[in-house]
Amino acid sequence: MLLLTLAIGSWYYLRNWLIYNDLFGTNIELLANISTGAIRSPLGPEFWFPMLPHIFISFFATFCWMNARLPIGAYLFPLALSIAAIYGLFRHLKTRKWQDAKVLFAGLLVLFCFAGVLYWNLRYPQSQGRYMFPVLPLIAVLLSLGLKALLDEIRSIKLANSLFIVIIGGLFLFEFASIAWLYNFHY
């Protein structure tokens, strides 16, 4: 299986090495991209402030060529849901004394992807949430687990079910409102 994976996936890197003498082809990107400049410091506010909100906003709903965004208030629901889910995920891990290897490994993979996005943004001003899509299934599972952990702590079944319906309804409303807004934006 590993040989099949290498046979299918390695041609791109071999091509980059043969043509550009660079395994990942980043040097040619630097030459081709006019907007690149010197490597930015990850400690500066110009790196963190615009980048993190843009990654979050574009991860949930930015369309077209990154120019069609929802009104800023539309992102409050996914932000609140994400914060609650991350809190619930930490509660889940704490109750299991940080011994849930599957959750820790999935979280580590998400952090590796995010570290790659951060590293990439040291040179390129492209803070786009789509760069987190390779770990989108892991993000969805981890956030779902966090929300489940929070809902499991609620003693009232009626309240837990009501919150579940609000969460699902809010997600559908967010998606349909996004599509409607985008439709009005372009058509």
* End-to-end Cα spacing for the chain: 47
* Max CA separation in the chain (angstroms): 63
DSSP state of 122: T
Q: Are 49 and 142 in contact (CB under 8 A)?
A: no
Q: Strand (E) positions, the chain?
A: 62-63, 68-69
> Which residue did the predictor score with more confidence, 101 or 44?
101
Q: How far apart are CA 18 and CA 56, in angstroms?
A: 36
Q: Report the alpha-carbon distance of residue 28 to residue 33 in Å, rounded.
A: 8
Q: What is the mean pLDDT of the chain?
A: 84
Q: State the CB neighbour count (10 A cutoff) for residue 158.
A: 8
Dist. CA 163–CA 67, nearest whole Å: 33
179 vs 63: CA distance, rounded Å:
10
What is the residue extent of each domain of the chain?
A: 33-186
- Report whether pLDDT(25) > 80: no
pLDDT digits (tens, 9 = 90+) for 46-74: 777 778 888 888 888 877 666 777 888 88
CA distances from 182 to 67, 69, 172, 187 (A): 11, 8, 15, 8
Q: What's the rounded Cα separation, in Å, for the pair 88 and 82? A: 10
For the cut 90, the answer to whether the pLDDT of residue 38 exceeds it is: no
The helix (run of H) or strand (run of E) holding residue 156 is none
SS3 91: helix
19-28, 34-43, 71-80: range with lowest mean pLDDT: 34-43
CB 138 within 8 A of CB 110: yes
Phi, psi of 155, rounded to the nearest 5 degrees: -75, -30
